[in-house]
Amino acid sequence: MTILSTTRVGGEKGGKYLRVKHESSSTKTEMTFGLFLPSILDRSAEAAESAKVVPVLFWLSGLTCDDTNFAITAGSRAFDMAEKQNIAIVMPDTSPRGDDVPNVDSWYLGFGAGFYLNATKLPYATHYHMLSYVTIEIPSYLSAHFPGVDTSLKSITGHSMGGHGALTIAFRDPSSWTSVSAFAPICHPTSCARWKEAFEAYLEGGVADGREYDATEILAARNTPIVEYDEIIIEQGTADAVLELMAPEDLEAAAAKCGQNVVLNW
């Protein structure tokens, strides 16, 4: 593990924002994630060695982003609130990267566009395992190297492709996440020609396999709500330039069908 940088946030008594590089068993590459740690972990460092003290929020960024975008665009306000609430925030990269990692000249495929799935189709199947990276490897890594972070109390959210990732990850394994929300998420990717291209590239079964990574399709296949979540909040701007690619109404309809309480704020 290499700590690329450490930034004190909110003055000398504030929390810390770290960028952490490590070898990933999921992607078979080096990966970097951002991590905000509230200052309570400094003040209770000895106790943190034997008792986990803060919950963690997973933030998944959108297309073309990396591990730094959230910290740059929202970090000052988000980290201030996380400090006040004693919450850690982890900010993974959006894809594997490196000279040996397949990439194309596209904003919705390859670098910065891992779609938070486990690819099964070559050439992407070797490295593009972002689902395993986010759901298995990072929680284990945090537990091993940052013992003050309680990975049994983790929530997940994200924007655009990251909102898609947050919803599908939480819907697939609700017992592992205490809450889920999303900002302008891609809600029904298998119904959109643009996102279908990504599923056709990443998955051996193409769009058919993509349904298990589609929040709307997951809810549409249910007859009952996911009981772990009493409310799922989605924020969607009406002036979004790519609103037609997001399909929040499809998710809202699927939620109504199975009785899932999804609050769509326009």
What pLDDT digit, counting tens, does each position of 24-81 carry? 999 999 999 999 999 999 876 555 455 568 999 999 999 999 999 999 999 889 999 9
Nearest residue to 133 (alpha-carbon basis) of 103, 98, 106, 96: 96
The answer to whether 191 and 92 are in contact (CB under 8 A) is: no
For the cut 90, the answer to whether the pLDDT of residue 137 exceeds it is yes
**CA dist., res. 266 & res. 263, Å (int):** 10
**pLDDT value at position 48?**
46
* 148-156 mean pLDDT: 96
Q: What is the pLDDT of residues 203-253, one digit of tens each?
A: 999 999 999 999 999 999 999 999 999 999 999 999 988 889 999 999 999
**pLDDT value at position 31?**
98
The answer to whether 62 and 42 are in contact (CB under 8 A) is: no
Q: What is the pLDDT of residues 219-228, one digit of tens each?
A: 999 999 999 9
For residue 128, name the pLDDT band (cuts at 50, 70, 90): very high
For residue 16, name the pLDDT band (cuts at 50, 70, 90): very high
**pLDDT value at position 36?**
98
Q: Mark out the alpha helices in 100-247 (DSSP H runs).
A: 130-132, 138-145, 161-172, 193-202, 206-210, 215-220
Q: What is the pLDDT of residues 81-121, one digit of tens each?
A: 999 999 999 999 999 999 999 999 999 999 999 999 999 99
Phi, psi at 213, each rounded to 5°: -115, 30
**pLDDT value at position 76?**
87
First to last CA, the chain: 41
The answer to whether 245 and 192 are in contact (CB under 8 A) is: yes
Spatial neighbors of 257 by CB under 8 A, at least 6 apart, are 219, 220
pTM of structure: 0.95
For residue 10, name the pLDDT band (cuts at 50, 70, 90): confident
